[in-house]
Chains A and B, each alone.
Chain A
Amino acid sequence: MQLPILESINLMAVLPVLIIAGWACVLLVFDLLIPRSRKHWTAWLALVGLLGAAVALFFQIGHFARLGSEAAFDGMVTVDGFSIFLQVVFVLTAIVGVLLALDYLPRHGIERGEYYVLLLFTTIGMMIMSMAADLIVVFVALELLSIPLYILSGFAGMRETSEEAALKYFLLGAFASSFLVYGIALTYGGTGTTRLTGIAQAVTSDALNLPLTTVGMGLLLVGLGFKVAAVPFHMWTPDVYQGAPTPVTAFMSVGAKAGGFAALIRVLVTAFPAIASEWGTLIAVIAGLTMLLGNIVAISQSNIKRMLAYSSIAHAGYILLAVAAAQRSENASFAIGAVVFYLLAYALTNLGAFTVAIAVERDDGTGTEIDDFAGLGKTRPWMALAMALFMLSLTGMPISGGLVGKVFVFQAALQAVPGDPLLLAVVIIGVLTSVVSAFYYLKVIMVMYMREGEGKAVLPLALKTVLAATAFGTLVLGIIPGPVFQMAQRAMLK
């Protein structure tokens, strides 16, 4: 009796999540016991937990290379290449999130152990998002991802901008969640199940369910579109990214976005293949709008955090294009590979860019204007070089991961439905907006090298490490993308 239960629960499959969850609880209690002046112990311990999860993930990679995919909890969660690949991204992002905060929090007088605990909790939410094979799990994971992020964006509570960011993010996030829940309710009403595979069967077997499930799918899209900051659900992004403490912005611009995309892809591809051309069209349109708005509004920004916020909207557009390309099942695995590759490249590049922003930021939260980067080319040549690389990668210039990501995305879109005018149009928009984006990305490089300025930056060891690692990663993805892309290709849904 006992053994079959354990087998179908399959705890080993969710081991990384369990490690982080357990460690977060231990850390919460431990943090109570250590004195106020030693809060960095919590940070180091959080790192230990994340590294433990990384080791577990490493073993899972080998395990799943042999087995393919595994279901756990009788199919409530699926552990496949897709979820493992994204979990690696999440754990790496969380490690960076801890390292970035290590010096930032005490410097800004907001060091509290809860930062690291909440960071671990939101990471669990993201990891479960990538495995969710049931709409209820998607919802609970989304909330677990979101609620700690609301708190973290208000972590510098004495700054009014941080408070505003938290409140705005929370109110709009709660609003978007309600759309998601309503979408789940309608889908359940139409199909009588919340399992993704069950929904797919019910939709194909009974055409009566189609209108209801289509509207349900639309509402789900609204809820997840908010998390990934797609137009027209992007309104919160600039204010929240600017107001939140910069390490939090760095973490959530990558993690929350990847979490949203993880659920979006799995839900659309697994549960709604019957209406694939409908959601494909819808997402392609959203992708086009998102690229246009993000890139065009970014041009006029003078604040680096705000500029990166609009840039993050723009990149959501490129990723959405690849999601739209997953509408035909023959092309799905290539498109999904493009999505996860792009997410990894974007994660490395964007985390790097925010690391530089943190180094330049002053202790009172100012120093986030692009003009503050003036003179860095002379005073901090290596850091300026890394920043230049990140900006080139975000634009999509050669020898950077950004270019390879964009090429894969466009290729996926072009071969999705050959001769489809809409996808072709969106690809053209994508190429043109990439050119437009050069304006504001290259402006940062120009300011760093061409303009005279103090060029002050604080670069402790933790930031140096992150900078070196992300720059190295961006270069590797740009020069030898083959191995990673092959891994991403295997990151199929099962």
Chain B
Amino acid sequence: MFEQYYPIAVLVLLATVLSIIVVFLSRIMGPRRPTPKKSAPYESGMSPIGPAVRRLPIKFYLVAVLFILFDIEVIFLLPYATLVRELGVYGLIATGIFVFILTIGLVYEWKKGALDWE
């Protein structure tokens, strides 16, 4: 009953083994003679200015949240999609209300400019 997961298992195994090999091979084979200049973060060949870790703009957060909300919407609709025909008009109305309410949200965020990057 778990046969369908064999490809995934093989993939996970392959990815793990491969990444271990790659990391360790370069450890073993590559010459390592670090100097302060070399261990500094790479910034187009110039000396680095400021810290390497910068604060991201808040926009990224907004996009991430909105993505999750619509992601969840899709998840809710997916089971219904398996029996669209059986549930007929009734199912269409039920999910239609669901989608309609979230579409209002889409209109709202669009108008608020939450989808504009600039």
| B107: chain A residues within 8 A (beta carbon) | 29, 32
**12 A-B contact pairs sorted by A residue (CB < 8 Å):** A5-B90, A25-B101, A25-B104, A28-B104, A28-B108, A29-B104, A29-B107, A29-B108, A32-B107, A32-B108, A32-B111, A32-B112
Q: Main SS of the interface on chain A?
A: helix
Which residue numbers of B lie inside 8 Å of A, CB to CB?
90, 101, 104, 107-108, 111-112
For A25, the chain B residues whose CB sits under 8 A away are 101, 104
**Shortest distance between the CB of A148 and any CB in chain B (Å):** 14
The closest CB in chain A to the CB of B107 belongs to A29
With a cutoff of 8 Å between Cβ atoms, the chain A residues found around residue B90 in the complex are 5
Q: What 1/0 mask marks residues of chain A from 146 to 189 whose CB sits below 8 Å from any chain B CB?
A: 00000000000000000000000000000000000000000000
In the assembled complex, the CB of A294 is this many whole angstroms from the nearest CB of chain B, namely: 36
State A28–B90 Cα separation when bound (angstroms). 27
Q: How near does chain B come to A345, taking the closest CB pair, in angstroms?
A: 36
Of all chain A residues, the one with the shortest Cβ separation from B110 is A32
Please give me the 3 A-B residue pairs with the lowest Cβ-Cβ distance, nearest first.
Answer: A32-B111, A25-B104, A28-B108
Contacts of A28 in B (CB 8 A): 104, 108
**Chain A residue nearest in CB terms to B108:** A28
Please give me the residue from chain A that is nearest to B90 by CB atom.
A5
Q: How far is the CA of A28 from the CA of B111 in the complex (A)?
A: 11
- CB-CB nearest in chain B for A31: B108
- Cα–Cα distance between A25 and B108 once the two chains are bound (Å): 10
CA distance A32 to B104 in the complex (A): 11
> Digit string of A99-112 for contact with B (CB within 8 Å is 1, else 0)?
00000000000000
A102 to chain B, nearest CB (A): 23
Q: Please report which residues of chain A, range 169-228, place their CB below 8 angstroms from some CB of chain B when the two chains form the complex.
A: none
Report the Cα distance A5→B90, complex, angstroms: 10
Determine the chain A residues whose CB is within 8 A of the CB of B112 once the complex forms.
Answer: 32
Q: Using Cβ atoms and an 8 Å threshold, which residues of chain A touch B104?
A: 25, 28-29
Q: How far is the CA of A32 from the CA of B107 in the complex (A)?
A: 9
Chain B residues with CB below 8 A from A29, complex form: 104, 107-108
Having A5-B90, A29-B108, one finds 10 other A-B pairs with CB under 8 Å, namely A25-B101, A25-B104, A28-B104, A28-B108, A29-B104, A29-B107, A32-B107, A32-B108, A32-B111, A32-B112
Contacts of A5 in B (CB 8 A): 90
Bound together, the chains give a CA A29 to CA B107 distance in angstroms of 8
Residue of B nearest to A26 (CB): B104
Residue numbers in A under 8 Å from B108 (CB-CB): 28-29, 32
How many Å lie between the Cα of A421 and that of B69 in the bound state? 52
List the A residue with the shortest CB-CB distance to B112.
Answer: A32
A320 to chain B: closest CB distance in Å? 35
Q: How far is the CB of A462 from chain B (nearest CB, A)?
A: 27
- Tell me the A1-17 residues at the B interface (CB within 8 Å): 5
Cα distance, A28 to B109, chains bound together (Å): 11
**Cβ contacts under 8 Å, B111 to chain A:** 32
User: In the assembly, what is the distance between CA of A138 and CA of B101, in Å?
Assistant: 21
Q: From residue 27 to 60 of chain A, which have CB atoms closer than 8 A to chain B?
A: 28-29, 32
Q: How far is the CB of B86 from chain A (nearest CB, A)?
A: 14
Q: Tell me the smallest distance from the CB of A121 to a CB of chain B, in Å.
A: 11
Min CB distance B112 to A, Å, is: 7
Task: Tell me the A308-353 residues at the B interface (CB within 8 Å).
Answer: none
CA distance A29 to B104 in the complex (A): 7
CB distance from B85 to the nearest CB of A (A): 16
Q: How far is the CA of A5 from the CA of B89 in the complex (A)?
A: 13
Quote the shortest CB–CB distance from A346 to chain B (angstroms): 33
Chain A contacts for B101, CB-based, 8 A:
25
Chain B, Cβ-Cβ closest to A22: B101
A32 to B112, CA, bound (A): 8
